[in-house]
Amino acid sequence: MTPMESINGQIESYQYLASYYLSMYGPAIVASFIILVGGSYFLFTNRSILMARAQRGNLKALCALTRPLVRRSDKNLRASALALIETARLGYVDEMYSVAVRTAAPNDPFFKQDERISLLWQEQVNLFRGVQPEKGAATQVHAVADTERDPYEELNALIGLDDVKKAMTDIANRAELFEKRKKAGLPVSHPALHLIFLGNPGTGKTTVARILGRLLYRIGYLTRGHVVEVSEGELIGQYIGETPIKVHRKIQEALGGILFIDEAYSMVNSPDNVSYGSSAIATLVKFMEDFRHDLVVIAAGYPKEMMEFMDSNPGLRSRFTEVITFGDYDADDMTRIYVHMAQDSSYILNPEARNALLFIMGDAKRTFTKNFSNGRLVRNLFEDTITFMAARIAQVEDPSRDALMTIARDDIMKALEKMKATQAASTIAAPKTSSDHG
């Protein structure tokens, strides 16, 4: 390094510090500071110099420009500014990206306060991620959402779940009303849309959450519409102070979309999670309120355990505005789901196979007393059916097109026997206890 390079490095460090103290303590304290370097006097940097450096990809300069926003009155703006600075300091590029995408939305307080800095953060994370979109990362994310199948069509195409579909439509209509009132200049209370999904495994909870995210994005209520699925292990830390950080990181990742917490009661039901689980829930309750303008939290799981989860913190019941119940599928719904899966993959059932399917689905709850999992059971049966069909076709020297498409009765019955054997083996390996869900 040459002497001049060394001097230039010192100058940049001093300028960064100067801008920091200028933003924190005001011009009166720092205006008279002059640093002598190499026999010359250098005036401390101002916003235009910091802006020029930030435009060249200087992360320290961008953080210095962002720090004054931490003191603004709007708490959402403060939270975004602080999150950007902290994620930059810690090197959490994905989390920085999530926040930057949200703050680039025109209706975000950060964007309204300082559009240029918001876009500079977009450019910064694009540099880190090796992305060069034409109009910022937010445009890229939205473009992906725009290519999705129409969410209303997808919702209505779901088999069964009539009450759930009506509830989702009502929620979307309510959110659309809020957005239309906002555009008309009318007051909007913007209540939270945090939901509880009650239901057994395989009843479509995750699928519906993904559709809801796209619905709310299409309306404009959410700025991204994506779904971040988490379990208790991703929210609860292993040492004091880690849990709030993990919760905050997942919240930041989900901003603009939906945070889907599966089996949320696991945060409090495990003896190992008593203290840290309570910390996770307390942190979650706070962030659900702070970020309700651009975040939907859905907690999902078994009905009984979810009610216990709701009682674990007095703030939970007031945060979750609606409870949606996903009932078990009946035999007719499960049969239709199987046939739909087959048709989607260009398979057909011969008459004997269809009769066998009707019999299996009609008796499914009695047959699979231990492992009845609704739509998941149907998918497992279908996939095992294809496995046995493949074994049968492998014995045919030159199968016809029809043979390659047609599911036979034996294929389904062998798949059923395999699933029954799997259930028996799991019952022997893990005897039923009072805590099992049967």
- CATH of residue 284's domain is 3.40.50.300
d(CA 348, CA 402): 9
Beta bridge partners of 197: 300, 324
Pick the residue with more confidence: 130 or 282? Answer: 282
Section 76-104 average pLDDT? 80
Q: Are both 295 and 216 inside the same structural domain?
A: yes
* 194 inside domain: yes
* 92 inside domain: no
* Least confident stretch, 21-30, 38-47, 186-195: 38-47
The C-alpha angle with vertex 99 and arms to 255 and 279, in degrees rounded to 5, equals 60
For the chain, what percent of residues have pLDDT higher than 70?
Answer: 78
Q: Are both 175 and 314 inside the same structural domain?
A: yes
What range does the domain containing 186 cover? 148-326
Residue 404's nearest CA partner among 356, 324, 345 is 345
Instruction: Please tell me the predicted confidence (pLDDT) of residue 143.
Output: 35
d(CA 387, CA 417): 13
Contact indicator for 105, 223 with CB cutoff of 8 Å: yes
Work out whether the CA dihedral 351, 353, 355, 361 comes out positive or negative.
Answer: negative
For the chain, what percent of residues have pLDDT higher than 90?
Answer: 28
Q: Are both 370 and 398 inside the same structural domain?
A: yes
The domain boundary residue, chosen from 310, 326, 342 = 326
Instruction: Tally the domains of the chain.
Output: 2
Pick the residue with more confidence: 70 or 136? Answer: 70
Instruction: Please tell me the predicted confidence (pLDDT) of residue 435.
Output: 39
* 62 inside domain: no
Q: Are both 335 and 322 inside the same structural domain?
A: no
* Least confident stretch, 31-45, 49-63, 360-374, 387-401: 31-45
First to last CA, the chain: 71
Instruction: Please tell me the predicted confidence (pLDDT) of residue 246.
Output: 82
Pick the residue with more confidence: 196 or 308? Answer: 196
* 51 inside domain: no
The domain boundary residue, chosen from 292, 326, 360 = 326
Q: Are both 315 and 282 inside the same structural domain?
A: yes
Instruction: Please tell me the predicted confidence (pLDDT) of residue 384.
Output: 94
Q: Are both 306 and 337 inside the same structural domain?
A: no
Instruction: Please tell me the predicted confidence (pLDDT) of residue 429.
Output: 53
Residue 256's nearest CA partner among 59, 67, 54, 83 is 83
The domain boundary residue, chosen from 300, 326, 352 = 326
* 215 inside domain: yes
Instruction: Please tell me the predicted confidence (pLDDT) of residue 382.
Output: 94
* 93 inside domain: no
Three-state secondary structure along the chain? Answer: CCHHHHHHHHHHHHHHHHHHHHHHHCHHHHCCCEEEECCEEEECCCHHHHHHHHHCCCHHHHHHHHHHHHHCCCHHHHHHHHHHHHHHHHCCHHHHHHHHHHHCCCCCHHHHHCHHHHHHHHHHHHHHHCCCCCCCHHHHHHHHHHCCCCHHHHHHHCCCCHHHHHHHHHHHHHHHHHHHHHHCCCCCCCCCCEEEEEECCCCCHHHHHHHHHHHHHHHCCCCCCCEEEECHHHCCCCCCCHHHHHHHHHHHHHCCCEEEEECCCHHHHCHHHHHHHHHHHHHHHHHHHHCHHHCEEEEEECHHHHHHHHCCCCCHHHHEEEEEEECCCCHHHHHHHHHHHHHHCCCEECHHHHHHHHHHHHCHHHHCCCCCCCHHHHHHHHHHHHHHHHHHHCCCCCCCHHHHHEECHHHHHHHHHHHHHHHHHHHHHCCCCCCCCC
Contact indicator for 141, 226 with CB cutoff of 8 Å: yes
d(CA 43, CA 33): 8
Confidence of residue 273 (pLDDT cuts 50, 70, 90): low
d(CA 218, CA 12): 45
124 CB-side CA count, 13 A: 33
Q: Are both 298 and 269 inside the same structural domain?
A: yes
* Least confident stretch, 40-49, 100-109, 369-378, 428-437: 428-437
Confidence of residue 336 (pLDDT cuts 50, 70, 90): very high
Q: Are both 418 and 294 inside the same structural domain?
A: no
* 139 inside domain: no
The pLDDT mean for the chain works out to 79
Confidence of residue 8 (pLDDT cuts 50, 70, 90): very low
Q: Are both 212 and 316 inside the same structural domain?
A: yes
Instruction: Please tell me the predicted confidence (pLDDT) of residue 294.
Output: 84
Residue 258's nearest CA partner among 289, 234, 286, 223 is 223
Instruction: Please tell me the predicted confidence (pLDDT) of residue 41.
Output: 34
Contact indicator for 116, 51 with CB cutoff of 8 Å: yes
Confidence of residue 101 (pLDDT cuts 50, 70, 90): confident
Q: Is the pLDDT of residue 22 over 60?
A: no
Tokens 């992305």 label which residue?
131
Q: Are both 307 and 174 inside the same structural domain?
A: yes
pLDDT in tens, 195-226: 999 998 889 999 999 999 999 999 988 888 99
Q: Are both 344 and 282 inside the same structural domain?
A: no
Please state whether 26 falls in left (phi above 0), alpha (psi between -120 and 50) or beta. left
Q: Are both 162 and 296 inside the same structural domain?
A: yes
* 398 inside domain: yes
d(CA 101, CA 125): 9
Instruction: Please tell me the predicted confidence (pLDDT) of residue 271.
Output: 60
- 26's tokens: 């005001």
Section 179-207 average pLDDT? 87
Section 122-127 average pLDDT? 73
CATH assignment at residue 347: 1.10.8.60
Section 13-17 average pLDDT? 50
